[in-house]
Amino acid sequence: MAFNPHDDLLSDDLEALWIKLILPKTKPFITGTVHRPPKQTDFYTTLGNVFLNNHDLNHSETYILGDFNTDVSLSLQSSLNFMHMFNFKQLIQYFTRISTNSSSVT
């Protein structure tokens, strides 16, 4: 297995690391780990701009991992728009943050 860092995807406004993984007998794919600080209000716009400005991301299988600090069970419009625009699917469907008074899928 080999990988190439994807430094062209870095943004001063986004906490992320990106690599292209190259595995034997498969197409290369891009994976990124992303963190959204809880108070960042333009996260999905910023992440979307990274995708819009990079040809490789739009034509490669891409996986994003990390902590978006977004309760996707609330169907927040910005997260839904991002996932729809770039054809992503939320894989985790059960509550991941559970407290005495609430639960969320973040």
Domain boundaries, the chain: 2-104
* This prediction's pTM: 0.77
Per the model's pLDDT, the better-predicted residue between 7 and 96 turns out to be 7
SS3 33: strand
Q: Write the pLDDT tens digit of every residue in 1-59.
A: 788 998 888 989 999 999 999 989 988 899 999 999 988 889 989 999 988 888 777 67
For the CA atoms of 97, 94, 70, 50, what is the dihedral angle to 10 degrees?
130
pLDDT of 72 higher than 80 = no
For the CA atoms of 36, 38, 40, 46, what is the dihedral angle to 10 degrees?
20
Which pLDDT score, from 0 to 100, does residue 34 have?
Answer: 94
Q: How far apart are CA 85 and CA 1, in angstroms?
A: 31
